[in-house]
Structure 1
Amino acid sequence: MHEVNDRSRDIGEFVPAPDDDMLICRCEEITKGEIRKAVHEGMWTMTEIRRYLRTGMGLCQGQTCAKLVKGIVARELGVSPATLEPATSRAPMRPTEMRILGNEAEDNKSS
């Protein structure tokens, strides 16, 4: 078993596979090939993959793709998926205009 964070080891070159066009993260439209290539470019943790490709950051927040992404990363690294720490989960954020917040405060006063 290899240590996940041992970045001195060589995982080999990226070799395209016939199923690399398979969509893994539907929300962000990320393919298996993009994930595999990211691993070979140095993204070895789930958090790095998430920040680099945005897997698991869409509407479903990784509910449909997290296990698939983890399995792909583990396979490329030659480790068990259990050795990979999950990416940090955060609530989805959306920009809010200040006028909306201002209107909300005025609505509360008139109630």
Structure 2
Amino acid sequence: METIMDRSIDLGELIPQPDDDVIVCRCEEVTKGEIRQAVHDGMRTLNEVRRYLRTGMGLCQGQTCGKLVQSIVARELGIRPRDLEMNTARSPVRPTEMGVYGNEVIEQEAEYEA
């Protein structure tokens, strides 16, 4: 586990692969090559890759791409996928209009006016 966080370890030069243009995270349109580049740029955990590229932050919340991203990152780091700590799960947050919170009051006022 120490080798993952040791950022002084040189992973070597990123060697392009023929399938680097394959989209791995469809929601955010992130390719395999972008994930590999992120690891070589210093992202050593799945959470860091997620924050850097937004993988797993789309509509599927990583249900489609999570395992693929994990295996790509592990392969670049030269470790087993199960040695990577999984992403921190968070509920999606969506903006709510203030009118939704005040809707009950508006309905009550409409009753009084009628």
Give the stretch that moved more between structures: 7-16 or 27-36.
7-16
User: Any stretches of 5+ residues in structure 1 without a counterpart?
Assistant: none
Quick one: distance in 2 between partners of 1:95 and 1:13?
42
Q: 2:16 maps to which residue?
A: 16
Instruction: Note closer, same or farther for the CA distance 1:9–1:107 as it changes in structure 2 (3 Å cut).
Output: same
Q: 2:97 maps to which residue?
A: 97
User: Any stretches of 5+ residues in structure 2 without a counterpart?
Assistant: none
C-alpha displacement of 1:47: 0.3
C-alpha displacement of 1:8: 1.6
C-alpha displacement of 1:106: 3.0
RMSD (CA atoms): 1.8
Structure with more contact order per residue of length (Cα contacts < 8 Å, sep ≥ 6):
1
Residue 21 of structure 2 contacts residue 31 of structure 2 at CA under 8 Å; is this kept in 1? yes
Indicate the SS of the match to 1:3.
helix
- TM-score of the superposition, structure 2-length normalised? 0.87
Write the letter of the residue equivalent to 1:106.
V
Quick one: distance in 2 between partners of 1:4 and 1:36?
15
C-alpha displacement of 1:51: 0.5
- TM-score of the superposition, structure 1-length normalised? 0.90
Name the structure with the higher helix share: 2
Larger Rg: 2
Residue 16 of structure 2 contacts residue 33 of structure 2 at CA under 8 Å; is this kept in 1? yes
C-alpha displacement of 1:6: 1.8
Instruction: Note closer, same or farther for the CA distance 1:100–1:9 as it changes in structure 2 (3 Å cut).
Output: same
Identity fraction in percent = 63
Indicate the SS of the match to 1:4.
helix
**Count of aligned pairs between the two proteins:** 109
